[in-house]
Amino acid sequence: MDSSDKPGLLERLSSFLVREPEDLEQLMQLLHSAHQRKLLDADALGIIEGALAASEMTVREVMVPRPLMEVVDVGDSIEEVVARVNTTAHSRFPVINGSRDNVVGILLSKDLLRVRPEDHFNLREWVRPAVFIPEFKRLDVLLREFRVSRNHMAIVIDEYAGIAGLITIEDVLEQIVGEIEDEYDFDEADDNVQLDPNGLYRVKAHTELADFNAAFGTSFSDDKCLTVGGLILHRLGRVPQFNETTVIDGLSFQVLRADSRRIYTLVVSRVPEASDAE
């Protein structure tokens, strides 16, 4: 049989899905059955699951919350702005005017390459319009809007028009295809624990407990789990939601990024009194 005659993925799935599923649960059962029969590989199944989940998730569940937004102020000097870009390595920044409640636009880091030393730098001249979206917008709708408008960042507002956080196209895509690492993300080996400019520690969930204990002076046992994410899962007995916080032995663990299947990033800080929050 010629390779060109082999049925494609859609043809194989079509022949498998003889009975039309009546709801999402039945569809997922059929997809998992297709995976078991090797009609779908694990990566394809994961992407389909992520795409289906994105159609039911809201911006609020995956956004970067307001206190953790990396911003620049409209009154900052070129030296201050460049220092913030170098520290965070982000490509876009919300520009505020005195307060995080007053976002006046977006700065693209690449625009700074056109700033000449002899020019009198005024950040207002480099600010691009910001896109504001409600926190309960669905991720699949937002992804479509990102593609049409070619925007890569949106400012999230709550029901009272206050700034709730921000979200990027990468945040949305990661819910579908899994975590996207690039050359500016935390290094896998060296930067699993990183102090951000706000004085909070960002910790990757796959950080081994031995390394976490060394960084924070704790003594969490690795008898039942090996990673920080595993510690949280073991304590809660489930995958926590975005922004959910639990306190263990005097440390607060806030979920910065997670999906329905796993935790990606946590914000860790010390609390005044040690208490365990289930």
Determine, yes or no, domain membership for 233. yes
Evaluate whether residue 111 is within a structural domain: yes
Looking at the structure, tell me whether residues 93 and 201 fall in a common domain.
Answer: no
* 109 plus 209 within the same structural domain: no
What range defines the domain where residue 49 resides?
A: 10-57
- Per-residue tokens: 27: 């569809």
Do residues 96 and 31 share a domain? no
Residue 44 and residue 146 share a domain: no
Q: 163 and 207 share a domain?
A: no
Same-domain check for residues 80 and 150: yes
Q: Give the chain's domain count.
A: 3
pTM of the predicted model, to two decimals? 0.59
Beta strands in the chain (DSSP E): 64-65, 72-73, 92-96, 103-108, 132-134, 153-157, 163-168, 193-195, 201-204, 245-248, 251-258, 263-270
pLDDT of 151-202, one tens digit each? 899 999 998 889 999 999 988 888 777 665 544 454 444 578 887 766 788 8
Rounded to whole angstroms, the Cα distance separating 178 from 31 reads 18
Asked which of 11-25, 113-127, 196-210, 228-242 is least confident by mean pLDDT, the reply is 11-25
Question: Mean pLDDT score of the chain, rounded to an integer?
Answer: 81
Mention every residue, 6+ apart, whose C-beta is less than 8 A from residue 275: 247, 250
The answer on 76 and 152 residing in a single domain is yes
Residue 122's domain is classified under what CATH number? 3.10.580.10
- Indicate the DSSP class of residue 67: G
Cβ 81 vs Cβ 123: under 8 Å: yes
